Amino acid sequence: GGAAGQFDKPVGVAVSPTGRVYVTDYLNHRVQIFGASGAYLGQWGSYGVADGRFNCPSGIAVGPGGDLYVADQLNHRVQVFDADGGFLRKWGAYGTGAGQLSGPSGVALDANGHVYVADGYNDRVQVFSADGTYRTQWGVSGSGSGEFDRPLFLALDPSDNVFVADTRNHRVQMFAAVPVPALAASWGRIKTLYR
């Protein structure tokens, strides 16, 4: 449904250090906030292209300072909000160039606040600074090591190793953590965890 606390295809979930649960409500084009016990606390967003609006919000992640990073999938951008849904900034535009996005779905942050985005239709992962500055990327279309076919979601472990759901290749790929400035030259696939 579309009422408070109801969903139409919830896709992403993130939990803040304070215990708030944020859910991207994909086809209602909003983010809803809940307490740890499931009590409805609020929401923000509606369909559109203006700041703070969405076209199918997908992945969501909480940054080190508590800001929320949302992959606004069909607006081909990432939007950043404060803990209560106040709009802070955005980046991205449709395309295949460095820093451009096509159907971004997953978003995650490392310990230094770098933002990793699963750039789904471009079959790659891009890395940005917290302010949206493009840093690097890896991946091309294919089924070989380090290649992707619709990478949709990703996560980082405490050591900043990156796990990518390589959806249409029916596997998860794991990439070793390295300093972000060296990513373009140093990324290497460790192993396929599931295929």
* Per-residue pLDDT, 89: 98
Per-residue pLDDT, 184: 42
Angstrom distance (rounded) from CA 111 to CA 119: 21
The CA distance from 24 to 56, in Å, is: 8
Give the pLDDT confidence score for residue 185 in this predicted structure.
39
Amino acid at 188: G
Mean pLDDT of 45-66: 96
Task: Please provide the distance, in angstroms rounded to a whole number, between the alpha carbons at the two ends of the chain.
Answer: 35
Which DSSP category does 97 fall into? S
Specify the pLDDT at position 61.
98
30-34 sheet: strands from edge to edge: 10-15, 21-25, 30-34, 40-44
Give me the residues paired with residue 126 across strands.
Answer: 117, 137
Q: Is the pLDDT of residue 107 over 70?
A: yes
Q: What is the identity of the amino acid at 30?
A: R
Q: How many CB atoms lie within 10 A of CB 132?
A: 16
For residue range 169-193, list pLDDT tens digits in order.
999 999 998 556 544 433 444 445 5
Is pTM beyond 0.95 here?
Answer: no
- Whether residue 158 is predicted with pLDDT greater than 60 in this model: the reply is yes
